[in-house]
A and B are shown apart, each in its own frame.
Chain A
Amino acid sequence: MLLQPQKRISERALTVWRITATIYSFFTLLLCGGIIALTIIFDWPIWISVIAVLILLIESYFFIYLFPRIKWKRWRYEVREQELELQQGIFIVKRTLVPMIRVQHVDTRQGPILRKYDLATVTVSTAATIHEIPALEVEEAEEMRIYISKLARVADEDV
C-alpha cells in the first residue's frame, strides 16, 4: 500500500474556495430569481420554481460546502529532493509524480481573493505538462518556488 504524501495545503484555501463558489452560485441565484419572476408573470405551474430553488440549494450545498471540504482533505503534496508528488481529486484520486529533472520552470500566482488571504498558487511546468498546487501560504509558496527551481537546475539532463 502506498502512503499518501504528507503535506497539506493551507486551511485558508477552504475559505477561498467557498468564496469563489459563492460568487458562482450568485449567478445561479440570479437565474433562479429570473425563473421565479417569469413563473409569477406568466402563471406557469408552481413546480417549476420549486425545482429551480431546489437546484439552487443542492448546488450551493455541494459546491460551497461539500466539494471544497473533500477537495481540501484530499489535497496533499510533498517536495522531495528528486521529485514532487501531488495528490488531488474529489471523485477520482489522482496522484502524480514529477521528477525534478523534468521540471522546466516554476511560477507563483495570486488572484485578488488569494491575495487577501495571503495565499498563492504554485505552478510547476514540465516539457509536456503543467501542475498546480493551489493556495499555499505566500512565504511557503515563495520558498517552494526557489527550492524547486534550484533542484531543477542541478539536474540538467537532455530532454
Chain B
Amino acid sequence: MSEPKRLHPITAVLNAIKTLKELIIPFFAFVVFGSKGGGIFSIIGGIVVLVLILVAGIFSWLRYTYRIEEGELRIEYGLFVRKKRYIPFERIQSLDLSEGIFHRPFGLVKVKVETAGASGTIDGAEATLTAISKAEAAMIQEVLQKVKTLGVEDIEKLDEIQEPKEQILYKISPRELLILASTSGGVGVVISAVIAFITQFDELIPYKTVFHELEEFVASGVLFVSLIVFIGFLLAWIISVIWMMIKYTDFTLKRVENDLIITRGLLEKRQITVPLGRIQGIRISENILRQPFGYSSIYIESAGGSAANAESASVNILPLIKKARISRLIEDHIDGYDLDIQTTPAPKRALKRYIFRGWLVVIPIAIILIFFFKLWGALSLLLLPLSAFWSYLEYKDAGWSQQGNQLTLSYRTFVKHTVFMQKHKIQTLALKESFFQRKENLASIEATLMSGLGGAGGRVTDLEEKDVELMYKWFSRESEKAQS
C-alpha cells in the first residue's frame, strides 16, 4: 500500500488548463496592449508562454505523488520547493468526488479531501487529487470508511469489514427535474452573465452607432421592441433551464453509514458528502414559483466546508420535494428535528410596519423617476401596490415556534425560508427592538448558526414582543438570573 503513486497523466493537461484560466486576464491585456508594437513578437511570446505552461504542467504532474501509509494520506508535490502534506485519515471529514469532461473518457475522478478546518487553502480543500482512476478513489474511500469505523490501529484488518450499508433516500424523477429547472430562477443569473459579457467587449462593438440606430428603431415601434425584449428573456430562461437540468441530472441522495451522500450532474459529475454529525441546522426554502404548488427545497447547514466552497457549507440535499413528503423522508436520518411544525405568525399590527418598510425604499425611487421623467415616471407609482403586496407576503411568511430543544424561524427574503435549529447548535441569539417597535410592543429575533466558516441562521422582524422574550429566555442558560 505504501509505494507512491502518480495521478493520471491527463493531470498535466488539467494543470496547464488551470494555469491558463488564471492567466486569461493578463493574457488578454497582453494581446490588447502588446499588439501595437510588432505583431510577430507577441505571437512568438504567446507561443512561448503556452509551451512553458504546458511543460510546467507536465513537471508538476511528475512531481506529485501520493500514498497511503500508517493511516495517513501522504502527498508530496512541488515544482521547485518540495512540499509534503500528511493528512491523518481521522481528520478527513469527507471526500468530494467530481468528474469533469476531461475525466469521463478515461474513467477518472477528481477527489477533494475536506478536513475540519482547511481555511488556509485557496480552493477550500486540504488536498486535491486532480485525476485518479475510479478504482483508486473507491480504494481511498474504503480506507477512510475503515478508519472511521475501526480506528487507526486496526487498519490492517481490512478484509473483515463488510460493505457499508447504503440506502437511497431520494432520486430525482425526470418530471421533477423539469419542474426544478423551469422554476429555479436562474434567469437572473443568465441575464447578468450576458450583460457582464457584453460590457467586456465595448471596444469591439460600436455601441454608439448601435444605440443611435436603436433610438430610431424604438421610435418606429414600441411593440416590436417589447417583443424583442420578451424573446430575449425567453431565451435566457431556456438557457437557464438547460443549465439547471445538466447540473441536477440524476440527483441522488444516499445514506451510507453516518454520511449523507449526494451525487449529481451530467457533464460534470459531482459527489458531495455531509457527515451527519456535522449538521448544524435544516432550512426549507420555497421560492414564489414553487410555493403555490407545495414544492420546496431543503438545505443542510454543515460545519464542514470552507469560505471558498460555499456549496459544502450550505448543502442542497433535496432540490425539489413536496413539502408534505419532507419529514417522512428525513426524520429517520437526521435526529431530533420536527419538521412538521406550525409556526406562530407575526401579530396583525406588524403588517403596517412591513408595508411601511417596503415603501421606504420604493417611494424615493418613485419620486426620483417622476422628477426626471414627469408623466412617464408616474408609472413608477405602480411600484407602491406591488411593494405592498410583497410586504404582505413577507408579513404572512414571518413566524416562529419553539418546542423542546427546537427553535423554528420562518421569514421571507426573496425566497421563503424556514430554519430549524436546535438549542445546542445555535451560536448566538439576539433580540432587537427599535423605539417604534417598542411603542407597538414588537421585537425582532435573530439566531445564528455555524455554516462553513461563516454564519447562517434566521431573522424574523416584528414579532410579538413577549414571544421574542420567550425565545430569549428559552435560549438563556441562566434565565432565572436574566429575569431577576
Contacts and interface: CB of A to CB of B under 8 A. Distances in A.
A94 B443 CA distance: 10
B476 interface: yes
A98 B428 contact: yes
B440 interface: no
Interface in B447-478: 448-451, 454-457, 469, 472-473, 475-478
B153 to A, nearest CB: 23
B424 A95 contact: no
A91 interface: yes
Interface stretch (B360-368, B369-377, B398-406, B431-439): B431-439
A91 B435 contact: yes
A91 B434 contact: yes
Interface string A20-35: 0000000000000000
A126 interface: yes
Nearest to B484: A3
Interface in B398-444: 424, 427-435
B454 A128 contact: yes
B478 A81 contact: yes
Given A3-B483, A97-B472, A128 B432 contact: no
Interface string A66-92: 000000000000001111010001011
Range of interface residues on B (Cβ < 8 Å): 20 to 34
Range of interface residues on A (Cβ < 8 Å): 20 to 34
B482 A85 contact: yes
Nearest to A84: B428
Contacts of B278: 159
Nearest to A2: B469
A91 to B, nearest CB: 6
B296 to A, nearest CB: 25
B475 A97 contact: yes
A43 interface: no
Contacts of B131: none
A7 B477 CA distance: 19
Contacts of A129: 427-428, 448, 455
B82 interface: no
A96 B482 contact: no
B449 A3 contact: no
Contacts of B477: 80, 82-83, 99
B303 interface: yes
Contacts of B449: 128
Nearest to A128: B455
A96 B429 contact: yes
Given A91-B435, A127-B303, A127-B450, A96 B428 contact: yes
B325 interface: no
A93 interface: yes
A18 interface: no
A127 B434 contact: no
A97 B469 CA distance: 12
A126 B483 CA distance: 25
Interface string A121-158: 00000111101000000000000000000000000011
Nearest to B424: A157
B212 interface: no
B428 A97 contact: yes
B427 A128 contact: yes
B39 interface: no
B481 interface: yes
A92 B432 contact: yes
A9 to B, nearest CB: 18
B428 A126 contact: yes
Contacts of B483: 2-3
A26 to B, nearest CB: 30
Nearest to B452: A128
B478 A92 contact: no
Interface string A105-120: 0000000000000000
Contacts of B428: 96-99, 102, 126, 128-129, 131
Contact of A94 (B280, B303, B430): B430
B396 to A, nearest CB: 24
A99 B478 CA distance: 10
Contacts of A102: 427-428
B277 interface: yes
A80 B476 CA distance: 11
B277 A95 contact: no
Contacts of A82: 477-478
A95 B472 contact: yes
12 contacts: A2-B482, A80-B481, A83-B476, A83-B478, A92-B434, A93-B432, A96-B430, A97-B428, A98-B428, A102-B427, A127-B303, A129-B427
Interface of A: 1-3, 80-83, 85, 89, 91-99, 101-102, 126-129, 131, 157-159
Given A95-B472, A99-B475, 8 more contacts: A80-B481, A83-B477, A94-B432, A96-B429, A99-B428, A126-B427, A126-B448, A158-B277
Nearest 8 pairs between A and B by C-beta? Answer: A128-B455, A82-B477, A127-B450, A96-B430, A92-B434, A128-B450, A128-B427, A126-B427
